[in-house]
Amino acid sequence: MQLTGSQFTNASAMAGNDVATFPDFPAEIRAPKGTRAGVSGFQVQFAADEIFTPGDELDVLVAMNPAALVTNLSDVVPGGLLLVNEDSFTDKDLKLAGCHTNPLEDGSLDSYRLVRIPMTTLTRKSVEDLGLSTKLADRCKNFFAMGLVYWLFGRELTVTLEFIQAKFGDKAEIAQANERALRAGWHFGETTEIFDIGYRVAPARLAPGTYNNVMGNQALAWGLMAAARQSDKDLFLGSYPITPASEILHELSRHKNFAVRTFQAEDEIAAMCAVIGAAFGGAMAVTTTSGPGIALKSEAMGLAVILELPMLIVSVQRGGPSTGLPTKTEQADLLQVLFGRNGECPMPVLACRSPADCFDVPVQAWRIATRFMTPVIVLSDGYVANGAEPWRIPRLADLPRIPVRHPKATDDGRPFHPYSRDALLARPWAIPGTPGLMHRIGGLEKEDPTGNVCYNPENHQRMVNLRAEKVERIADDIPRQQVHGPEQGEVLVLSWGGTFGACATAVEHCLQQGMQVAHAHLRYLNPLPANLGDLLQQYRQILVPEWNRGQLRMLIQAKYLRATIGLNKIQGKPFAVQEIVDKIQTIHDCQVPK
Amino acid sequence: MSSADLPVLTAAQFASDQDVRWCPGCGDYSILAQMRRMMPRLGVPLEKIVFISGIGCSSRFPYYMNTYGMHGIHGRAPAIATGLKAVRPDLQVWVITGDGDGLSIGGNHLMHCIRRNMDINIVLFNNRVYGLTKGQYSPTSPLGQVTKSTPMGAIDNPLHPLSIAIGCEASFVARSIDVNIKHLAMVLQRAAEHQGTAFVEVYQNCVVFNDRAFQYATDRETKLDHVLELEHGKPLVFGKNREKGIRLNGLNPQVVMLGDGYDEQDLLVHDEQATEPSLAYLLSRLRHEDGFPEPIGVFRAVDAARYDEELNRQIQLAQANRGIGDLEQLFHSGDTWTVTENENTV
Ligand SMILES: Cc1ncc(C[n+]2csc(CCOP(=O)(O)OP(=O)(O)O)c2C)c(N)n1
Ligand code: SF4
Ligand SMILES: [Mg+2]
């Protein structure tokens, strides 16, 4: 392990990062292999900025056996990545490490991102044809682990390849085996889509309460379960696995005792359609995916809009286009979810700003969906989804009730009209099984209010407008947009989604420098809060930092005819606070008359 | 209320108030009529029945039934039905699809729906053409068929719906013909009564774009020579005078004349309950153009595990083992900590 660690240090130094190392040798050098005392660790920190504290917290732990896992676990940050050699978690290994239950299975690793990898098997496979003894082959597995970590952090293999040649050059097959294992580890990382970045927030003063560390996808799953409870509904999830959304499927699949039904469909189209079927049947129906999945779901999402049934569509964004950068974050699917459907096809859109926020947003989204009878989109992103942060556990009694009504037949002899509307323009959610309310719905244009198929031109325009107006009116039902900072000033930073942490910290920093700057972070992207237009008038310049080429900016400029400035980072990684501070500074300085 | 106490419904009560808009003479009318006629026999109340369809002439069907219904999008009805049945096992769910809808754009969903074996009844109206889009060839159009999109004849090999269903391990597979009204009603009823996915292919005449495609099977003069009505436990006999039969020659089916060296004991005997689907598959491959009669009736009807039942069983099992889920407890699982007012004021 020590050898592995120093190699990684070298590779990181080559990459231009500041590096601090903290070799953690076992005190008892001869401690038996596999026992806790015999764990050999090597911790490497690397960062773009200067490092002051080597060896305090770990973002990634590579554990070659149970002993290594349990001894180092307390140093790993919540939401940190555990890369575990699952081949060495046999009963014998567990006993050696003094584990009574298998940590990979007993739930004790729930607040980490656990990746189980059969490292021994894969390493042996990678050197199979070299004719090494098993013992020699198994020695290569540290290089496998190293290859994986190199991939994760985008380190070059070259330095280590040279090292292998220099060190083992005279033993050709050993050199070759180590090189094979190193490359196999790298390739494993690439093909299995392990997410490399975690959300980090500066430690802040926390409001009184009981806290749990949650990861974004986990909080999102819990939020969905809470929304189901608050509306007295059973939750149905129709989903198809995709990075970085799959953990929501995994998490919900574990909670069958909450009557959560999860359905892994044959593709995203089927997942979306199953959700439509479940919504028709009266369930709280949800689908979870990422951008490529949304592309497949689009036609069915249009059906959901014209059916006017409540359901949630969760998109955890990743780098695009196409398969793009599956394990990197981006927020370039805003326009996709707003406009990526045929016809006039409006859908409300909400976005999560942090891991803990992933709990609240689905609850609000489901409230809107049921109150207005509409599908609703929840946006998250890879950074938020894989990050962890302290979450104040709500009391169930404090969560909003989400009342849902299913009509019954009346005796007044009047026919049932599935497209009659209430004051909010919502139609009744009449579900199969209700005597006397039999009706047919579908994707063909509906007659207002009977719901019968109708090709009348004026009716079509009326229905298009009704569907649009219904969504627009949600603006009167959501909170007014708040700002942090002065109500008027030079610069407003307008942000949405996972950029929250960096934007908020940057604005705070600038405020302390005495700048006239404020921050507005949007949760509701469609419709936008009713007061947003007026609010934008209160600042001389609007800065919109986004992980895309300016999608929110385009919306704002189109809707409010207000020029804005973009700060656009499309590198698959979050903003550094300083990048935003610098930009604010530039704008601020050229605005304030000297 | 047991079904015996339910008021007996009539075929007319299954008709919605919408005008039926298929072309005059379209085979779809007959299928609709047989469905409405058969339904009262099931004793299921109107509100417990849901018809779900894709897109196509055939997929207009749900609008004409006075039950719950959804006209979905092209090819996706099996997926919509799957979601509905997953959360509402109490409903009787039907899927209405066409040869294009079910086998072209929706082939994937059809395949997965069948293999999951939920209690859903799928009726595929096979007119061997795209009706709604005005006459392009379909995945079941025979080689050489001249249509608007194949002016020199179709050059892709056709699919055979029942062979596909059997390949997906369907637990119930049957075929009927739009004009064989009694037989069709019988087959639909058997499908409804089957527990698990029932897949029914109906030969359906499109008078406008593929008229007489099934003439060989419906013409009064020739149909008995070209169609073989399957009966469980009976030898495969057909012909105007029931003078012909099908036997196995090695692994291949062979048409033989009875009396001409063969008698009924030499013939294949139909067994719809056979665990192995080989016989059903062999029957599904008998083609008119290869000189065989085409079987109608129930090819296969076996018991198999159902996804909808298993899904709900797992929920019950989880609740029995772990207790009904408690959110507070879940939220407090793992390492939690408490921040007090005091810590906050420092
Ligand atoms: C996504 C999509 N692609 C294409 C169409 C056009 N379309 C509608 S029905 C149909 C074919 C229908 O054929 P079939 O399923 O055999 O039904 P039939 O009309 O013959 O009953 C096509 C291509 C559509 N509605 N949606
Ligand atoms: S086009 Fe063919 S299938 Fe469609 S309604 Fe007319 S006859 Fe029937
Ligand atoms: Mg057709």
Per residue in A489-500, pLDDT tens?
999 999 999 999
**Quick check: B27 pLDDT over 70?**
yes
pLDDT digits (tens, 9 = 90+) for A74-103: 888 777 889 999 999 999 999 999 999 999
**Quick check: B189 pLDDT over 90?**
yes
Last residue of a domain, one of A371, A398, A425: A398
Which residue of B71, B88, B112 is in closest CB contact with A281? B88
pLDDT digits (tens, 9 = 90+) for B200-215: 999 999 999 999 999 9
Contacting B residues, span 59-98, partner chain A, CB-CB under 8 Å: 62-63, 65-73, 76, 79-88, 90-91
Segment A235-256 shows an average pLDDT of 98
Token pair for residue A209?
Answer: 């309460």
Nearest C-alpha of chain B: how many angstroms from A16? 37
User: Is the CB of A277 less than 8 angstroms away from the CB of B315?
Assistant: no
Helix (H/G/I), strand (E/B), else coil: A267:
coil
Task: Please give the distance, rounded to the nearest whole angstrom, from the Cα atom of residue B125 to the centre of ligand 3.
Answer: 7
Which residue of B16, B87, B109 is in closest CB contact with A266? B109
**Same-domain check for residues A9 and A130:** yes
Counting Cα atoms < 13 Å in the Cβ hemisphere of A14 gives 15
In whole numbers, what is the pLDDT of chain A averaged over residues? 89
Q: pTM here?
A: 0.89
Task: Please give the distance, rounded to the nearest whole angstrom, from the Cα atom of residue B98 to the centre of ligand 2.
Answer: 11
Please work out whether the CB of residue B106 comes within 6 Å of at least one atom of ligand 1.
no
Q: Rounded CA gap, A88 and A99, in Å?
A: 13
* Any A CB within 8 A of B50 CB: yes
Q: Is residue B4 very low, low, confident or very high in pLDDT (cuts 50, 70, 90)?
A: low
At the topology level, CATH places domain B3-234+271-308 in Rossmann fold (3.40.50)
Contacting A residues, span 386-425, partner chain B, CB-CB under 8 Å: 393-394, 396
Nearest ligand, measured from the Cα of B24: 2
Query: For the CA atoms of chain B, what is the radius of gyration?
Result: 24
A15 occurs within a structural domain: yes
**Quick check: A294 pLDDT over 50?**
yes
- Tracing tokens 């500066």 back to the chain, one arrives at A202
Residue A534, CA distances (Å) to A171, A471, A562, B299 in order = 74, 20, 11, 70
Residue scoring higher pLDDT (B136 or B346): B136
Pair A114, A108: CB distance under 8 Å: no
Would you list the domain boundaries of chain B? Answer: 3-234+271-308, 236-269
**Same-domain check for residues A172 and A248:** no
Our count of domains for chain A comes to 3
Nearest C-alpha of chain B: how many angstroms from A319? 28
Q: Which chain A residues touch B345 with a CB distance below 8 Å?
A: none
* Any A CB within 8 A of B321 CB: yes
User: Is the CB of A273 less than 8 angstroms away from the CB of B63?
Assistant: no
If we measure between CA atoms, which residue out of A228, A261, A221, A227 comes closest to residue A245?
A221
Q: Rounded CA gap, A388 and A216, in Å?
A: 6
Q: Rounded CA gap, A415 and A428, in Å?
A: 13
If we measure between CA atoms, which residue out of B205, B114, B96 comes closest to residue B165?
B114
DSSP code, position A530: T
**Same-domain check for residues A74 and A112:** yes
* Any B CB within 8 A of A343 CB: no
Q: Is residue A25 very low, low, confident or very high in pLDDT (cuts 50, 70, 90)?
A: very low
If we measure between CA atoms, which residue out of A458, A447, A456, A375 comes closest to residue A418?
A447
Ligand 1 atom nearest B58 alpha carbon: 21
Pair A387, A198: CB distance under 8 Å: yes
Task: Please give the distance, rounded to the nearest whole angstrom, from the Cα atom of residue B59 to the centre of ligand 3.
Answer: 10
A13 occurs within a structural domain: yes
Segment A142-161 shows an average pLDDT of 84
**Same-domain check for residues A53 and A136:** yes
Predicted pLDDT at B135 = 97
Predicted pLDDT at A217 = 97
Q: Is A507 exposed, middle or buried (0-12, 13-18, 19+ CB in 10 A)?
A: buried
Q: At B300, which helix (H) or strand (E)?
A: strand B294-301
**Same-domain check for residues A546 and A497:** yes
CATH number at residue A274: 3.40.50.970
Q: Is residue B8 very low, low, confident or very high in pLDDT (cuts 50, 70, 90)?
A: confident
Residues 6+ apart with CB under 8 A from A429: A282, A309, A310, A370, A373, A404, A405, A406, A407
Token pair for residue A475?
Answer: 């603006």
Interface test with B, best of A396, A416, A438 (most B CBs within 10 A): A438
In 3-state terms, chain A is what percent helix, strand and coil (to 5)?
40, 20, 40
Which residue of A234, A273, A438 is in closest CB contact with B87? A234
Which residue of A205, A236, A302 is in closest CB contact with B87? A236
Nearest C-alpha of chain B: how many angstroms from A465? 22
Predicted pLDDT at A158 = 86
Beta strands B92-98; B49-53: pairing state: parallel
Predicted pLDDT at A197 = 62
Domain coverage including residue A96: 2-191
Ligand 2 atom nearest B127 alpha carbon: 3
| Identity of the residue numbered A163 | F
Segment B191-199 shows an average pLDDT of 98
Residues 6+ apart with CB under 8 A from B315: A256, A257, A259, A261
Of all protein residues, the one whose alpha carbon is nearest to atom 6 of ligand 2 is B23
Nearest C-alpha of chain B: how many angstroms from A175? 44
In whole numbers, what is the pLDDT of chain B averaged over residues? 96
Segment B88-106 shows an average pLDDT of 98
Q: Is A449 exposed, middle or buried (0-12, 13-18, 19+ CB in 10 A)?
A: middle
**Count of A-B CB contacts under 8 Å:** 212
Ligand 1 atom nearest B55 alpha carbon: 9
**Same-domain check for residues A39 and A78:** yes
**Same-domain check for residues A389 and A528:** no
- Tracing tokens 């058997």 back to the chain, one arrives at B190
pLDDT digits (tens, 9 = 90+) for A164-194: 888 888 888 889 999 999 999 988 888 887 7
User: Is the CB of A432 less than 8 angstroms away from the CB of B332?
Assistant: no
Contacting A residues, span 301-320, partner chain B, CB-CB under 8 Å: 302-303, 307
A82 occurs within a structural domain: yes
Nearest CA in chain A to B111: A266
Segment B121-135 shows an average pLDDT of 98
**Same-domain check for residues A122 and A237:** no
- Tracing tokens 């359609």 back to the chain, one arrives at A273
Q: Which range, of A54-63, A120-129, B23-32, B209-218, averages the lowest pLDDT?
A: A54-63
Of all protein residues, the one whose alpha carbon is nearest to atom 5 of ligand 1 is B74
Q: How many CB atoms are closer than 10 A to CB A93?
A: 17
A37 occurs within a structural domain: yes
Q: Which of A3-7, A47-51, B2-6, B75-79 has the highest mean pLDDT?
A: B75-79
A555 occurs within a structural domain: yes
Ligand 1 atom nearest B98 alpha carbon: 15
Q: Rounded CA gap, B161 and B102, in Å?
A: 9
A479 occurs within a structural domain: no
Buried b (16+ CB within 10 A) or exposed e, A406-444: eeeeeeeeeebbbbebeeebbbbbbbbbbeebbbbbbbe
Query: How long is chain B?
Result: 346
User: Is the CB of A212 less than 8 angstroms away from the CB of B83?
Assistant: no
User: Is the CB of A256 less than 8 angstroms away from the CB of B319?
Assistant: yes
Q: Is A395 exposed, middle or buried (0-12, 13-18, 19+ CB in 10 A)?
A: exposed
Q: What is the DSSP string of B63-124?
A: GGBSSEEEE--TT-HHHHHHHHHHH-TTSEEEEEEEHHIIIIITHHHHHHHHHHT-SEEEEE
Q: Which chain A residues touch B91 with a CB distance below 8 Å?
A: 281, 432-433
Counting Cα atoms < 13 Å in the Cβ hemisphere of B88 gives 28
**Quick check: A363 pLDDT over 80?**
yes
Which residue of B73, B88, B332 is in closest CB contact with A443? B73
**Same-domain check for residues A135 and A17:** yes
Predicted pLDDT at A26 = 30
Nearest C-alpha of chain A: how many angstroms from B202? 23
User: Is the CB of A300 less than 8 angstroms away from the CB of B76?
Assistant: yes
**Same-domain check for residues A328 and A382:** yes
**Same-domain check for residues A79 and A138:** yes
Task: Please give the distance, rounded to the nearest whole angstrom, from the Cα atom of residue B327 to the centre of ligand 2.
Answer: 54
A460 occurs within a structural domain: no
Contacting A residues, span 171-200, partner chain B, CB-CB under 8 Å: none
Segment A382-402 shows an average pLDDT of 93
**Quick check: A54 pLDDT over 50?**
no
Predicted pLDDT at A32 = 42
Residue scoring higher pLDDT (B88 or B335): B88
Residues 6+ apart with CB under 8 A from A196: A81, A152, A153, A327, A328
Token pair for residue B287?
Answer: 């083609």
**Quick check: A594 pLDDT over 50?**
no
Q: Is residue A47 very low, low, confident or very high in pLDDT (cuts 50, 70, 90)?
A: very low
pLDDT digits (tens, 9 = 90+) for A14-24: 454 444 333 33
**Quick check: A481 pLDDT over 90?**
yes
Sign of CA dihedral B106, B111, B116, B121: positive
Token pair for residue A328?
Answer: 């990197």
If we measure between CA atoms, which residue out of A275, A332, A257, A340 comes closest to residue A499?
A332
